Amino acid sequence: MSAVDLVRREESVKAKRGQRMKATDAFVECLLAEGVEVIFGYPGGAVLPIYDSLYEGKIRHILVRHEQGAAHMADGYARVTGKPGVCLATSGPGATNLVTGLASAWMDSIPVVAFTGNVARSAIGTDAFQEADITGITLPITKHNFLVRNAQDLPRIIKEAFHIASTGRPGPVLVDLPKDVSVEEIIFDYPETVDLPGYKPTIKGHIKQILEAARAIAAAKRPVLYIGGGVISSGAHEEVLALAEKANIPTTFTLMGIGGFPGDHPLSLGMLGMHGTVYANYAVHEADLLIAVGARFDDRVTGDLKRFAPHAKVIHIDIDPAEIGKNRHADIPIVGDCKAVLSVLVEKVREKREDEWLAKIAEWKREYPLTYEEKPGVISPQRVIQEIYEVTEGNAICTADVGQHQMWLAQYYIFREPRRHLSSGGLGAMGYGFPAAIGAAVGRPDLPVWSITGDGGFQMTSQELATVRKYNIPVKIAIINNSYLGMVRQWQELLYNRRYSASDLHDNPDFVKLAEAYGIPGMRVSRPEELRPALEQAAATEGPVLLDIHVDPEANVFPMIPAGMSVAEMIGKKGRLGT
Amino acid sequence: MKHTLSILVQNQAGVLSRVAALFTRRGYNIESIAVGTTEDPRISRMTIVVEGDRREVEQITKNVHKLIEVLKVSDLTYDDMVARELALIKVTADSHNRSEIMQIVDIFRAKIVDVSERSVIVEVTGDEGKVDAMIRMLRPHGIKELARTGKIAMVRGSKPEPSLRHITSA
Ligand SMILES: Cc1ncc(C[n+]2csc(CCOP(=O)(O)OP(=O)(O)O)c2C)c(N)n1
Ligand SMILES: [Mg+2]
């Protein structure tokens, strides 16, 4: 939002202060005051008053085809813009349909503000038609939620909702609005500040701790920087780069941290963890100092916690004190905003370079590059990702769904900037990727947006093809079609003696026809020589397009540290079994 | 080991369920919980007794603190605190044993708050050990009903409650 817009917004709020208006008109004014540009929503009885106030079109509304889509779109919008995404659903089933999307935003700390209608206050608790206790249901998957009991409180609650969602460790906030509240009239007043005595995120890190961290870095022979989603949400990528370069620290990132450090930088180790690079996992295993920044030692990263980074002293920087010491003891805990802490730490750290350590890592990189098998006449899924990277020159926003293709995207597309790679990391919710791409494309119309999705997961939210068509949202959909629930099949191959129970999708629909049914051009790609031209054509297409790319059905994601294990049990180090 | 947590919260609808649900979700068992308002009617104090080692309790404390409506969490376990529980015990009592019960009540500085032909209700206040001992002594006489509050606690001395000061409005 430009400065002129900001001033205009403030003036409009001032002009309306003290005016009598419908609560739902006030709702619109409050959202405008928050700078909300778009709402992803779906109507129903309990939100008809809100929809009536939206009718004038003061705020863009995107009509989805399933409320789960609305929540994921708000999430995708938030991830690429850094601003809270907004979704809206009716009471009961509309509200419960948001749940998966909110849970995913919660697990990944994404600022989303969800509005739901509810039955009238007098009917709450009576099992009224389309009543759901959505504040109760979303208690464990929101940062906070509100049930609006008095219409006059609505502006204050909206102000607090946006503040809570977007500050500190971000997260989703839900506001539940009973229908009778929404039809009342109020005196409009949008507060300029919030008064939340129990909510005071720590931003600045403790200087004593920061100095101690600087000393530990100076003393380390084998340091590794391990960055997570907190780097993206706090916008600390430049500070991370400065720290890594100043002290020549090899840097690895989690799935959520992708883009927090340039993937093509000589100090980049790529992603770590279950499907991380061999050299990232080796480096962490051998490290004598692990600098965790905005990361939470998730089990997909650590495997067996007892054997994770066994020789390392840990510096843990996080805005959320409850993350520190949760899974791994921190020798030097620093509570604070990653950007704020790192900007001080970078100054305090002395330039240094551990040549032996860097040489060791270079050796691992030579010995174990990321690689995969190619079979003649068959498209390798990893190649698809590499070629999408080439065709988009590494500048696209790419969303993943969940499964093998999600890991291949993380491994083979090299992200150089934050807020370009979107993945349902914590919840791992199939159905996330395509709607998230729609939200991303709405938030960043200036960038190409690719939805890299699975043949399984795409079918969980494919109805949003209608949304894409209706608003002509230029999402490029690339289905990595292996005719399997590939990740499930892979585990069954490796751990269940190839008993492919309920993972075969060879009866998939014709995705090209499906796209065409929605009025979206589709292309099937099944031979290796067709791949590049199809990708180029898709990239050159103005509006949305779907590619159904038939790949090697039995390709596996390697390397792999099976769940709960450690680097010692890593398999597929050279891109195939038996290595 | 048992820990006594004192939690100051904004007195708002739903805050009790938020706190209680958090313990459940993070896998902690609440042994007792007592809630009431403080000297400031906008603020309630919850006293929660929970089992766990120091690290586990620190972890749950940090999580509770993250709740928006929670103003302050203190683990009083290692402080010099006054902790009290109240129990109402309905005991079988007739002419044979009534005087014996009254003796026990006297020794514990408890009170008889209701008398009928076949029973009395004893009210006892004290720390957990005292209430337990009282119950043990009365059990042979036949306890018909027992109601126990959770523990409430406060640190001794004149240390102020810092979080109460910065609250200007709620
Ligand atoms: C909603 C949901 N249900 C089930 C799962 C479990 N699961 C994880 S990966 C996967 C297979 C995904 O298959 P597909 O979308 O075809 O992607 P692929 O692994 O083949 O690339 C499944 C079923 C999940 N993550 N999310
Ligand atoms: Mg598949």
Task: Give the 3-state DSSP-derived string for A382-438, with helices as H, strands as E and coil as C.
Answer: HHHHHHHHHHCCCCCEEEECCCHHHHHHHHHCCCCCCCCEECCCCCCCCCCHHHHHH
Query: Cβ–Cβ of B21/A322 closer than 8 Å?
Result: no
- Whole-number pLDDT of residue B162: 46
* Residues with Cβ within 8 Å of residue A411, at least 6 apart in sequence: A270, A271, A275, A277, A370, A382, A385, A557
A579 pLDDT band (50/70/90 cuts)?
A: low
Helical H segments across A82-193, by residue range? 93-97, 99-107, 134-137, 154-166, 179-182
Tell me which residue in A164, A320, A326 faces B68 most closely, judged by beta carbons: A164
Q: Does residue A100's CB lie within 6 angstroms of at least one atom of ligand 1? A: no
- Which CATH code fits A207-367? 3.40.50.1220
Judged against a pLDDT cut of 70, whether residue B164 lies above it is answered with no
Query: Cβ–Cβ of B17/A136 closer than 8 Å?
Result: yes
Q: Which listed ligand is nearest to A486 at the C-alpha?
A: 1
Q: Does residue A401's CB lie within 6 angstroms of at least one atom of ligand 1? A: yes
Which is it for the CA torsion A461, A465, A470, A473, positive or negative?
positive
Verify whether residue A487 is a known catalytic residue. Answer: yes
**Separation of alpha carbons A279 and A293, rounded Å:** 19
pLDDT in tens, A417-457: 999 999 999 999 999 999 999 999 999 999 999 999 999 99
> Backbone phi, then psi, for A248, in 5-degree steps?
50, 55
| B73 → chain A, closest CA residue | A198
pLDDT in tens, A84-116: 999 999 999 999 999 999 999 999 999 999 999
> Backbone phi, then psi, for A238, in 5-degree steps?
-70, -40
Tell me which residue in A144, A199, A322 faces B63 most closely, judged by beta carbons: A322
CA A350 to chain centre: 34
| Cβ pair B121, B159 in contact under 8 A | no
Tell me which residue in B17, B25, B70 faces A198 most closely, judged by beta carbons: B70
Kindly provide the ipTM of the predicted complex, given to two decimals. Answer: 0.92
For residue A56, count other CB atoms closer than 10 A to its CB: 9
How far are the Cα atoms of A85, A90, A173, B165 from residue A115, in angstroms, in the given order?
11, 8, 9, 34
Question: Measuring CA to CA, which residue among B1, B128, B127 is closest to residue B57?
Answer: B1
A509 SS3 class: coil
CATH fold of A381-557: Rossmann fold (3.40.50)
Here the tokens at position A532 are: 């590049």
- Whole-number pLDDT of residue B161: 53
**Separation of alpha carbons A230 and B55, rounded Å:** 24
B170 pLDDT band (50/70/90 cuts)?
A: very low
Q: In one letter, which amino acid is B80?
A: D
Question: Measuring CA to CA, which residue among A555, A167, A554 is closest to residue A337?
Answer: A167
**Separation of alpha carbons A27 and A92, rounded Å:** 21
| Cβ pair A86, A99 in contact under 8 A | no
Query: Cβ–Cβ of A140/B25 closer than 8 Å?
Result: yes
Give the domains, in start order, of chain B with CATH numbers.
2-78 (3.30.70.260), 83-152 (3.30.70.1150)
Please work out, in degrees rounded to the nearest 5, the angle formed at the alpha carbon of residue B122 by the alpha carbons of B120 and B128. Answer: 150
pLDDT in tens, A13-28: 888 999 999 999 999 9
Tell me which residue in B13, B21, B169 faces A140 most closely, judged by beta carbons: B21
B169 pLDDT band (50/70/90 cuts)?
A: very low
Catalytic site residue from A129, A516, A536, A569 = A129
Which residues between 311 and 340 in chain A have a beta carbon less than 8 angstroms from any beta carbon of chain B? 320-322, 325-326
| Residue ranges of domains in chain A | 3-187, 207-367, 381-557
For ligand 1, pick from A402, A404, A434 the residue to mutate: most ligand atoms within 8 Å of CB.
A402
Place of tokens 């080796």: A282
**Separation of alpha carbons A408 and A201, rounded Å:** 36
Judged against a pLDDT cut of 80, whether residue A220 lies above it is answered with yes
Two domains, one topology: A207-367 and A381-557: yes
Q: In one letter, which amino acid is A9?
A: R
**Separation of alpha carbons B138 and B142, rounded Å:** 7
B160 pLDDT band (50/70/90 cuts)?
A: low
Contacts of B14 in chain A (CB under 8 A): 135, 147
Catalytic site residue from A83, A143, A179, A365 = A179
Report, as an integer, the average pLDDT of B88-108. 95
Judged against a pLDDT cut of 70, whether residue A367 lies above it is answered with yes
Mean pLDDT over all residues of chain B?
92
**Cβ–Cβ contact A139 with B under 8 A:** yes
Verify whether residue A179 is a known catalytic residue. Answer: yes
B119 pLDDT band (50/70/90 cuts)?
A: very high
Query: Cβ–Cβ of B65/A321 closer than 8 Å?
Result: yes
Judged against a pLDDT cut of 60, whether residue B163 lies above it is answered with no
Q: What's the gap in Å between A290 CA and the centre of ligand 1?
A: 32
Query: How many contiguous H segments (helices) and E segments (strands) does chain A have?
Result: 24, 20
A363 pLDDT band (50/70/90 cuts)?
A: very high
Atom of ligand 1 nearest to the CA of A487: 19
Q: Which residues of A318-338 are buried (b: 16+ CB within 10 A; e: fewer)?
A: bbbbbbbbbebebebbbbbbb
Q: What percent of chain B shows pLDDT beyond 90?
A: 89
- Whole-number pLDDT of residue B167: 40
Q: What's the gap in Å between A481 CA and the centre of ligand 2?
A: 5
- In angstroms and rounded to an integer, the radius of gyration of the C-alpha atoms of chain A is 24
pLDDT in tens, A32-59: 999 999 999 999 999 999 999 999 999 9
Query: How many contiguous H segments (helices) and E segments (strands) does chain B have?
Result: 5, 9
Question: Measuring CA to CA, which residue among A9, A18, A64, A16 is closest to residue A36?
Answer: A9
Q: Does residue A486's CB lie within 6 angstroms of at least one atom of ligand 1? A: yes
**Separation of alpha carbons A572 and A556, rounded Å:** 9
Q: How far is B167 from chain A (nearest CA, A)?
A: 6
For residue B110, count other CB atoms closer than 10 A to its CB: 22
**Separation of alpha carbons A48 and A44, rounded Å:** 6
Catalytic site residue from A27, A29, A40, A67 = A67
| Cβ pair A561, A274 in contact under 8 A | yes
- In angstroms and rounded to an integer, the radius of gyration of the C-alpha atoms of chain B is 19
Verify whether residue A537 is a known catalytic residue. Answer: no
Q: How far is A469 from chain B (nearest CA, A)?
A: 41
- Whole-number pLDDT of residue B166: 42
Provide the greatest CA pair distance for chain B: 60
A298 SS3 class: coil
What is the edge-to-edge ordering of all strands in the sheet holding A268-271? Answer: A268-271, A251-253, A223-227, A289-293, A313-318, A332-335
Q: In one letter, which amino acid is A429?
A: A
N-term to C-term CA, chain B = 35
Query: Cβ–Cβ of A198/B168 closer than 8 Å?
Result: no
Q: Give me the architecture of the A3-187 domain, per CATH.
A: 3-Layer(aba) Sandwich (3.40)
Which is it for the CA torsion A459, A464, A470, A475, positive or negative?
negative
Q: What percent of chain A shows pLDDT beyond 90?
A: 97
